Amino acid sequence: MHRLPAVTLLALALSACGGDPDANGQDGGEGEPILGEPCAPPPAYVEDVSGCAPAADAYQPRGGQDTWPACVSDDGVYHPLGASISSIARVQAYHAIALLLWSADPRPTRQDFLDARILFEEEQGLGSRVARRYDPHFPAPAAGKCEDEGVPAANPDYCVGPATLQPLLTGAFASGAEGEARLVNAARIHAALQWFLYVSVIKEATTCATTAADCDSHWAYYAGGGPRESPLGLGAEILALAPETHQRIYDGLLAVRCWRNLDHEGGEATDLALRDRAIAQLDRALLRGMAVLVRQRFAELGCASEHYRQAALEALRVLVPLLDRAVRERDASAAGFLAAEVQKEAAAIDAAGAISRLDALFPCY
């Protein structure tokens, strides 16, 4: 623990106070100029759901025949367990950051980065959750938790928040605020936060077994507290590209809620098999949604130029590792292909090859 030297302590004691710092912001310059053009219009993607069918054990609140008992989700609406869902505020912050950095005006200023970072680092905000987020797809450390010293470095896949996402985000916010590679840094932030939201949905669904409030959080991290037809945050981004995938994800969210309704809603869940079944349905759909987002980035490589294309590549360099586990489970060679492609220069990337593999590995259902 840092200690002040005795002389300094004495001086402070006698002076009785230290002054407040003056606010110091940006110097007004915008840093490096942004070159190139974005895709105009953005690459078109039409989701083909003609050959899709839900899994046999899937929960189908939109009218399909399923094997699930009747539950609170059968009306197709998410019914929160609690009256207060703090995660919604974090998704609202994500939305506000998006407006500053990538969605409203894709030419963020240094001040935009600073304002976005303030939103990100609010007390109990996104930053506080990124710093503790773990990915339950990976085995937990044999000893310790991701909050403990040294554990994230030793378990980077499980402790994805502190080990991977937090340093990436901190660096991108700082670099952007310095005016460096603003589009690239905005894309990194965007992709890292998408990764965070994806992991958060699955993590909260998992811990919902013991902490009922986490059920609502799993829904909030995807939909931002919004209804099926107008989600906020990650849900809105997937809905814009792949409406049916969004519907399937929402069905998965309701499957989790249905399980919790059937499994000691007021206490601790015991039917973990049903939980895993619900989460598997959700994760399958959500991975499909994330793959669509990645697919879109690959498509942008072909129509964007200069910094805009570099930004798409940087987003892929963040998001392809997110999909690596799921891709590798399905096709190890495809995982290797994708990982190798995103390490190339943008012009040398086989975007069509990557897209075809993603479509094959993460089909609609």
Task: Identify the residue among 50, 65, 84, 347 touching another protein (CB under 8 A).
Answer: 84
Give yes or no for residue 119 binding another protein (CB under 8 A).
yes
Distance of CA 185 to CAs 41, 48, 68, 122, Å? 22, 33, 45, 20
Distance CA 181, CA 168 (A): 14
Give yes or no for residue 207 binding another protein (CB under 8 A).
no
At its nearest, how many Å lie between another protein and the CB of residue 10? Answer: 7
Give yes or no for residue 125 binding another protein (CB under 8 A).
yes
At its nearest, how many Å lie between another protein and the CB of residue 291? Answer: 30
Amino acid, res. 147? E
Binding to another protein in span 265-304, by CB under 8 A: none
Give yes or no for residue 162 binding another protein (CB under 8 A).
yes
Q: Are 26 and 110 in contact (CB under 8 A)?
A: yes
Please state the length of the chain. 365
At its nearest, how many Å lie between another protein and the CB of residue 272? Answer: 17
Task: Identify the residue among 40, 46, 83, 142 touching another protein (CB under 8 A).
Answer: 83
Give yes or no for residue 122 binding another protein (CB under 8 A).
yes
Give yes or no for residue 347 binding another protein (CB under 8 A).
no
Tokens of 145: 């938790």
Binding to another protein in span 142-161, by CB under 8 A: 146-149
Binding to another protein in span 241-260, by CB under 8 A: none
Sign of CA dihedral 340, 344, 347, 348: negative
Sign of CA dihedral 264, 269, 274, 275: positive
Q: In the complex with another protein, which residue's Cβ is closer, 103 or 128?
A: 128
Instruction: Specify the residue for token string 């059968």.
Output: 74
At its nearest, how many Å lie between another protein and the CB of residue 25? Answer: 6
Chain centre distance of CA 320: 13
Instruction: Specify the residue for token string 């899994």.
Output: 55
Cβ contacts of 35 within 8 Å, gap of 6 or more: 306, 307
Which residues are near another protein by CB under 8 A?
1-4, 6, 9-10, 12-13, 16-26, 83-86, 88-90, 92-93, 114, 117-119, 121-125, 127-128, 131-132, 146-149, 162, 166-167, 170, 173-174, 177-178, 213
